C-alpha cells in the first residue's frame, strides 16, 4: 500500500510544477515547451507530473486561474475599506499603474500565444471563457452596486460597462506590448480611467 500523501504536500508539489511550467513557457514559449522540458526543469518524473496535470494546456489554464483568483481575492479584501463603487474602480486603476510595463509585456506575450493556440481548440475556448468570465462578473458587480447607490447613471448597462472596462485595459496593454515608454503608458491609464468614469457617470 502506497503511503498517504497530505493535502499540503500535494499543494506544494502542484505549486512547484506550475512554477517550473511558467519558467519554461516564458523562456521557450507555450507551443515550443514540452512536458519533457518541464520534467527536466522541475526534476520530477513525467509520471508524477501527470498525477497532477493531464497536459501543459491544463497547467496554463490552472496558472491563469490561480492568478485571477488571487487578484480577485486581494481586491475584495481591499474593498472592505472601500465601500464606494467608484473608489473600488479607482483602486483597480491603481493596480494597473503599479504593474511595471516590463511585467505586463511578459504576461501579455504569455497570454496571447496561448489564445492563438486555443482559438483552434474548441474545448480550450470553453475553459478560457470560464476564466475570463470571472473578471467580467467581478467588474459587473461593482458597476451594479454603483448604479444601485446612485453613483452611476441609472440606465447603465452594467454587463456592457464591465466588458468595456476590460476591453480598454487589454487594448492598451496590447498597444504597449512591444514598445512605448512607461510614463506615456501611465498617462494613457489616466486617460482611460477618465473616459470610463465619463461613460458610467453619464
Angle, CA of 160, 166 and 169, to the nearest 5° = 140
Is the pLDDT higher at 192 or at 6? 192
Can you give the pLDDT at residue 5?
65
Q: Calculate the average pLDDT of the chain.
A: 92
Residue-wise pLDDT tens digits, 21-55? 988 988 888 889 999 999 999 999 999 999 999 99
Phi/psi of residue 171, nearest 5 degrees = -65, -40
Q: Set out the domains of the chain in order of their start, with CATH numbers.
A: 1-53 (1.10.10.60), 57-201 (1.10.357.10)
What is the Cα–Cα distance from 197 to 156, expressed in whole angstroms? 12
Is the pLDDT higher at 71 or at 109? 71
What is the Cα–Cα distance from 47 to 139, expressed in whole angstroms? 40
Can you give the pLDDT at residue 193?
97
Decide if pLDDT at 185 tops 50.
Answer: yes
Residue-wise pLDDT tens digits, 96-147? 999 999 989 988 888 888 888 888 888 888 888 888 899 999 999 999 999 9
What is the Cα–Cα distance from 14 to 30, expressed in whole angstroms? 19
Decide if pLDDT at 2 tops 70.
Answer: no
Can you give the pLDDT at residue 3?
54
- In order of 62, 115, 126, the CA distances from 119 in angstroms are 18, 6, 10
Report residue 11 as a C-alpha cell: 499543494
- Residue 133's nearest CA partner among 109, 106, 163 is 163
User: pTM value?
Assistant: 0.86
Please compute the mean of the pLDDT values over residues 5-19 and round it to a whole number.
87
- In order of 54, 68, 124, 132, 190, the CA distances from 121 in angstroms are 16, 22, 5, 16, 37
Can you give the pLDDT at residue 136?
96
Q: How confident is the model at residue 1 (pLDDT cuts 50, 70, 90)?
A: very low
Question: By percentage, how much of the chain surpasses pLDDT 70?
Answer: 98
Amino acid at each position: 500500500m502506497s503511503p498517504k500523501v497530505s493535502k499540503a504536500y500535494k499543494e506544494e508539489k502542484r505549486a512547484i510544477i506550475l512554477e517550473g511550467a511558467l519558467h519554461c513557457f516564458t523562456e521557450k514559449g507555450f507551443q515550443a515547451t514540452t512536458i519533457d522540458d518541464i520534467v527536466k526543469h522541475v526534476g520530477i518524473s513525467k509520471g508524477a507530473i501527470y498525477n497532477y496535470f493531464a497536459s501543459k494546456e491544463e497547467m496554463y489554464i490552472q496558472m491563469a486561474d490561480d492568478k485571477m483568483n488571487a487578484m480577485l481575492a486581494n481586491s475584495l479584501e481591499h474593498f472592505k475599506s472601500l465601500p464606494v463603487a467608484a473608489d473600488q474602480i479607482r483602486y483597480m486603476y491603481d493596480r494597473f499603474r503599479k504593474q511595471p510595463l516590463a511585467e505586463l509585456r511578459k504576461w501579455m506575450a504569455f497570454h496571447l500565444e496561448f489564445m492563438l493556440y486555443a482559438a483552434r481548440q474548441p474545448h480550450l475556448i470553453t475553459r478560457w471563457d470560464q476564466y475570463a468570465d470571472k473578471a467580467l462578473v467581478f467588474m459587473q458587480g461593482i458597476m451594479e452596486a454603483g448604479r444601485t447607490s446612485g453613483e452611476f447613471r441609472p440606465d447603465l448597462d452594467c454587463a456592457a460597462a464591465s466588458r468595456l472596462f476590460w476591453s480598454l485595459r487589454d487594448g492598451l496593454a496590447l498597444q504597449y506590448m512591444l514598445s512605448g515608454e512607461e510614463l506615456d503608458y501611465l498617462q494613457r491609464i489616466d486617460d482611460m480611467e477618465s473616459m470610463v468614469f465619463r461613460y458610467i457617470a453619464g
